[in-house]
Amino acid sequence: MAKSPETELPLKAFGWAARDTSGTLSPFHFSRRENGDDDVSVKILYCGVCHSDLHTLKNDWGFTTYPVVPGHEIVGVVTKVGINVKKFRVGDNVGVGVIVESCQTCENCNQDLEQYCPKLVFTYNSPYKGTRTHGGYSDFVVVHQRYVVQFPDNLPLDAGAPLLCAGITVYSPMKYYGMTEPGKHLGVAGLGGLGHVAIKFGKAFGLKVTVISTSPNKETEAIDKLGADSFLVSKDPEKMKAAMGTMDYIIDTISAAHSLMPLLGLLKLNGKLVTVGLPSKPLELSVFPLVAGRKLIGGSNFGGLKETQEMLDFCGKHNITADIELIRMDEINTAMERLHKADVKYRFVIDVANSLSSL
Ligand code: NAP
Ligand code: ZN
């Protein structure tokens, strides 16, 4: 098993890492820092598998440094707290999401918008004080208390893990862009991890929700199980034509390059299309439908810590969790192949504590 080339830190950690653009994950020993005065140490119980993990493993975005241990939908139990930590106690169930550090002084940090801090440190694949951060496909993590959230008591830890990224990434733009007015019509483009949680938030906000998907085989479940009101197969030109001008909002969670034109066509006058998906290639866009229909296109980056806690509490109240396929750590490479083919219902979650330690 390869050793990390970075500065050796005092604590020995174990996880699964990819070493090259094949993205294949395998066992990996590395090190983490001691628990500092403001830190919380978390034994990782579950970690969701986000498509961003897959983009990173394959270096789709061009900034992966190998070896990389992915994972930013972490739920675990607190094992240690620093002397300045008052909010968390040993034994608490907590979550860690997409970032583990930011400058804490810039305008964005001061507004609880750490996700837009120019100096943010991602949970994995980020440089950090001469080392690299490594994520939740591992046994434990040490995180500054600001980047840790309390996990609601009434939610299952495994199905709740995806809320730490998939959940907040759709909740935050829905709130910010005002996509919450009861009775309005929301389109959810792409029915994967983010998309299926967007349906649940949409219904909790009182919206009519239509899924826009390339996968006709997801229709029955989308309606019967996830609570969508209708389902539109984006490859069916007749149905797409009939649905033109019917939606107030669209949240676009598609992971691969696609044209925005058909989606813009579905929007009413003043409609809003918010994209959260991060395909590596530019999306096709003509400004004509924007101008002619006074439409708006926006983007959004996961969420700040205050809003992440708010979102988790909202999920606790409305009983919102992800629909998951729980896997063992040694099933991760097959899971990644399936994620690449949009073949997951609707989020893989790794049973980290029960399957990593037995290796
Ligand atoms: P996912 O589970 O793989 O879902 C993506 C869905 O996109 C697929 O299930 C599929 O839905 C659709 N899709 C895939 N390829 C497509 C294609 N060629 N054309 C049209 N539709 C296609 O991924 P995810 O974890 O939800 O993440 C989605 C995207 O959001 C990724 O790019 C990820 O990196 C990004 N992301 C962004 C943030 C942020 O902060 N902005 C946070 C997390 C993730 P259908 O089968 O229904 O067509
Ligand atoms: Zn993610």
Ligand 1 binding residues, C-beta < 6 A = 50-52, 55, 165-166, 169, 190-195, 213-215, 218, 253-256, 258, 276-279, 300-302, 339, 342, 344
Residues at Cβ < 5 Å from ligand 2 ion? 50, 52, 165
Q: Is the pLDDT of residue 180 over 50?
A: yes
Nearest CA owner, ligand 1 atom 1: 192
Tokens linked to 189: 């483009």
Question: Residues 6 or more apart from 5 whose CB is under 8 A from it?
Answer: none
Nearest ligand, measured from the Cα of 274: 1
Nearest CA owner, ligand 1 atom 2: 192
Nearest CA owner, ligand 1 atom 9: 192
What's CA 34's distance to the chain center, in Å?
27
In this predicted model, what pLDDT tens digit does every residue of 324-357 receive, in sequence order? Answer: 999 999 999 999 999 999 999 999 999 999 999 7
In single-letter form, the type of residue at position 189 comes to A
Q: Is the pLDDT of residue 359 over 70?
A: no
In single-letter form, the type of residue at position 224 comes to D
What domains can you pick out in the chain, each with its CATH number? Answer: 2-164+323-355 (3.90.180.10), 166-299 (3.40.50.720)
Confidence of residue 6 (pLDDT cuts 50, 70, 90): low
Q: Cα(265) to centroid of ligand 2, in Å? A: 28
In this predicted model, what pLDDT tens digit does every residue of 53-93 receive, in sequence order? Answer: 999 999 999 999 999 999 999 999 999 999 999 999 999 99
The confidence score (pLDDT) of residue 284 equals 87
Q: Which atom of ligand 1 approaches the CA of 302 most closely?
A: 40
Q: Is the pLDDT of residue 358 over 90?
A: no
The confidence score (pLDDT) of residue 2 equals 47
The confidence score (pLDDT) of residue 5 equals 54
| DSSP class per residue in 144-196 | EGGGEEEPPTTS-HHHHGGGGTHHHHHHHHHHHTTTT-TT-EEEEES-SHHHH
Q: Is the pLDDT of residue 94 over 70?
A: yes
In this predicted model, what pLDDT tens digit does every residue of 136-163 receive, in sequence order? Answer: 999 999 999 999 999 999 999 999 999 9
pTM exceeds 0.95, yes or no = yes
Tokens linked to 285: 């866009």
Nearest ligand, measured from the Cα of 221: 1
Q: Is the pLDDT of residue 1 over 50?
A: no
In this predicted model, what pLDDT tens digit does every residue of 183-217 receive, in sequence order? Answer: 999 999 999 999 999 999 999 999 999 999 999 99
The confidence score (pLDDT) of residue 178 equals 97
Among 123, 125, 253, 341, residue to substitute to test ligand 1 (most atoms within 8 Å of Cβ): 253
Mean pLDDT of the chain: 96
Contact 247, 268 (CB under 8 A): yes
Sort 148 into a burial class: Cβ within 10 Å, 0-12 / 13-18 / 19+.
Answer: buried
In this predicted model, what pLDDT tens digit does every residue of 267-320 receive, in sequence order? Answer: 999 999 999 999 999 998 999 999 999 999 999 999 999 999 999 999 999 999
Cα-based distances in Å from 18 to 26, 44, 55, 124, 333: 7, 19, 12, 12, 10
Q: Please give the helix or strand (H or E) that residue 132 lies within, else none.
A: strand 131-132
Nearest CA owner, ligand 1 atom 36: 277
Tokens linked to 181: 């007015």
Among 194, 250, 263, 340, residue to substitute to test ligand 1 (most atoms within 8 Å of Cβ): 194
33-44: average pLDDT: 98
